[in-house]
Structure 1
């Protein structure tokens, strides 16, 4: 085989892997909605995302350029520290082989997202399809829960026993918990904002996007996950700020006018949410501070539970610190925590440096969403694939895959 034939074959192989990755990424983003079997979802993700990502990574000779950039190097350092914690720390929850598998899957996922991001049209197309799928299931959930099952649209009934987390029919779109559901759909709300404001869409397309965003907003609101509320608001706000045009300014103005009206109309409910406060998270965080001297340096071990039992009359237990920042420090010590913070800072810097690129702006908005969500809700990012990968590792992959214009690289 001549060198020209080998290059042509390699190019066709790379393109085939890339489009399979696009399908796999779509399945990973939305498969939790249309799959009612966790094992089927896992099989689809492995075959359509991780396997082709591995082949593509090998064919690109490990894609050294991706990991040479500052965020890539810090991510590799963080992964090495996680492996060391899983191997050497006696408090680790699993065997070293488990953490090697998790780290390899994380790196493959980040590489897969970054590879698709390099082809912006492909990424935009699959994100539009993913938003459409999420919006359809959001509306289906609202219809089934309130139209078919007859759930009352009453604040107290919904707040204490009717928070949305699943479609409610044959196990489809089951996110297990309202907090997870709110964060999951919140990511699609940020993606939809980018599609509406950042792209040239026709009137009927804008109408469909607005309708989808209305369904997503209603679903997120009715999860009563305040972390998802604030994270979604922050992500969408940053998205609108980074896309200054008539549409974004109109939405910001409409939001500024609508917010006081909403607060006035639902003031009793707002007051009740304020009284609920941190939902006893302060007790967990105080306990974290009490235990701080025992784990601050090396951590309690990779995947270690932060076991805490609330005092009577509550008398129930939790297994994590209810803040990803605190949980990471608890598991991996100060080195792991500082590497994680350095990763966030380097991604923000790269996103800002490359902000002329539309997908860099999206990455910044989604990373803002994640950083707000991680204050009180996300409990782990180094674990098997889950909705939390969409919250955190998805924007990491986007920002790693964005290529800065040459002018931005020279001025940085």
Structure 2
């Protein structure tokens, strides 16, 4: 009787978490009110995650994996810097809340990976919503509002929202490009792992077309490069016939696109890194003042472009590289722990590459690591699209079970 009751509780919590994860992934698109989105996450994701933690007594933390230990060490360092560093922004309770919610999120994602079929359906439902909103945004912007498809106009008016009733408003083209790129990788994973019929393949191709066109029209070149890197990593980890076919088709499309849009590609290349080199140079000039202990949790890296530059007069508040920004805020130990966490998760993805979810986590993590070179300003903060970009693959890989070593014959 006790075992049956325990199974019913587990089933209830897993169903509750599944709904919560779906809202966390896709709710950004169909909520035009940030407070409503936050309320949904608290009720549908964080509450059941907390109940599961209390029930299971933090079993995942005791799973004896380096990645889990490194994340705990990183979270502890963030709390220490947030509470003890005199330069840190906000109070220590703010950082406890942020780290606590993040731990619950990772725990929820990791636990759901123990039910791969259920988890895949949650991801699939989120992909359907994302692809639908990508197409709706393109239709509304270019069909209803009749925006021009001329390159110069597209480049100046980069897409970042649907434009109707506040829905699917990501508030910045870079964020929009990164967010929708995640779903393009998820869709690729579904294609190479699910059994395909002709009708299903056509639907997936249409969904992918909408996602890719949307990402292209954000003109977030960091998202373009990261999406290519993450997609290739996923396909190489998968290494089946469909994966190799996609690599060939993708290569052909890339060559054809380069031929057709060579003048536009040259214009993009001429833009360089759009002033980031000056911000990065200023970061290195100030390195002596923060390299050891950092400047404090949540502190802005303020840079003003010199007069005469095409961005002159504008103030920027982060270093336009997550790695540099994290070092600036948390010092050499903080960035060291963060990089060690990323490498340990990549290694785990490689060791567990026979498992479909490990391949997905590896591809998404490569995407995030490349994107963080030039984009993403913070990862320890309230729930946002950046949680989908980085912490989703971290949670997946924390939850994946490493293959057991064969028993010794001795």
TM-score range, shorter chain: over 0.9
> Are the counterparts in 1 of residues 60 and 107 from structure 2 also a CA contact under 8 Å?
no
Alpha-carbon distance between aligned partners in 1 of 2:199 and 2:56, rounded to the nearest angstrom? 41
Paired residue for 1:84, among 73, 80, 85?
Answer: 80
Deviation string for 1:153-179 (max 9, x for gaps)? 01000101x211000000000000000
Q: CA deviation at 1:269?
A: 0.6
Indicate the residue corresponding to 1:311 in structure 2: 306
Q: CA deviation at 1:8?
A: 2.9
Does residue 363 of structure 1 match 2:358?
no
Indicate the residue corresponding to 2:13 in structure 1: 17
- Find the residue that maps to 2:242 and give its secondary structure: helix
Q: CA deviation at 1:65?
A: 4.7
Indicate the residue corresponding to 1:346 in structure 2: 344
Q: CA deviation at 1:11?
A: 2.4
Question: How many pairs are equivalent?
Answer: 405
Deviation string for 1:307-361 (max 9, x for gaps)? 1111113110111110000000000000001000110011011111111111000
Paired residue for 1:213, among 190, 197, 208?
Answer: 208
Paired residue for 2:388, among 376, 382, 390?
Answer: 390
Q: CA deviation at 1:14?
A: 1.9
Indicate the residue corresponding to 1:406 in structure 2: 404
Indicate the residue corresponding to 1:130 in structure 2: 126
Q: CA deviation at 1:405?
A: 2.4
Paired residue for 1:195, among 163, 169, 190?
Answer: 190
Indicate the residue corresponding to 1:300 in structure 2: 295
> Are the counterparts in 1 of residues 61 and 69 from structure 2 also a CA contact under 8 Å?
no
Moved over 6 A (4+): none
Alpha-carbon distance between aligned partners in 2 of 1:252 and 1:371, rounded to the nearest angstrom? 21
Alpha-carbon distance between aligned partners in 1 of 2:181 and 2:210, rounded to the nearest angstrom? 11
Deviation string for 1:182-224 (max 9, x for gaps)? 0000000000000111221222111101110000000000000
Q: CA deviation at 1:64?
A: 4.5
Q: TM-score normalised to the size of structure 2?
A: 0.97
> Are the counterparts in 2 of residues 23 and 48 from structure 1 also a CA contact under 8 Å?
yes
> Map of 1:252-331 to 2, 5 A cutoff?
252-313=247-308, 314-331=312-329
Indicate the residue corresponding to 2:64 in structure 1: 68
Paired residue for 2:105, among 100, 104, 109?
Answer: 109
Indicate the residue corresponding to 1:380 in structure 2: 378
Does residue 223 of structure 1 match 2:218?
yes
Q: CA deviation at 1:303?
A: 0.5
- Find the residue that maps to 1:180 and give its secondary structure: helix
Q: CA deviation at 1:134?
A: 0.5
Q: Using a 3 Å threshold, how does the CA distance of structure 1 residues 64 and 29 change in structure 2: closer, same or farther?
A: closer
Alpha-carbon distance between aligned partners in 2 of 1:292 and 1:311, rounded to the nearest angstrom? 20
User: After the TM superposition, which of the residue ranges 205-214 and 57-66 deviates more from structure 2?
Assistant: 57-66
Q: TM-score normalised to the size of structure 1?
A: 0.96
Indicate the residue corresponding to 1:156 in structure 2: 152
Does residue 241 of structure 1 match 2:236?
yes
Paired residue for 1:48, among 38, 41, 44?
Answer: 44
Q: CA deviation at 1:245?
A: 2.3
Indicate the residue corresponding to 1:34 in structure 2: 30
Alpha-carbon distance between aligned partners in 2 of 1:281 and 1:235, rounded to the nearest angstrom? 23
Consecutive unaligned residues of structure 2, counting only runs of 5 or more, are none
Alpha-carbon distance between aligned partners in 2 of 1:112 and 1:64, rounded to the nearest angstrom? 10
Alpha-carbon distance between aligned partners in 2 of 1:140 and 1:13, rounded to the nearest angstrom? 39
> Are the counterparts in 2 of residues 66 and 400 from structure 1 also a CA contact under 8 Å?
no
Alpha-carbon distance between aligned partners in 1 of 2:243 and 2:5, rounded to the nearest angstrom? 45
Does residue 183 of structure 1 match 2:183?
no
Alpha-carbon distance between aligned partners in 2 of 1:249 and 1:220, rounded to the nearest angstrom? 23
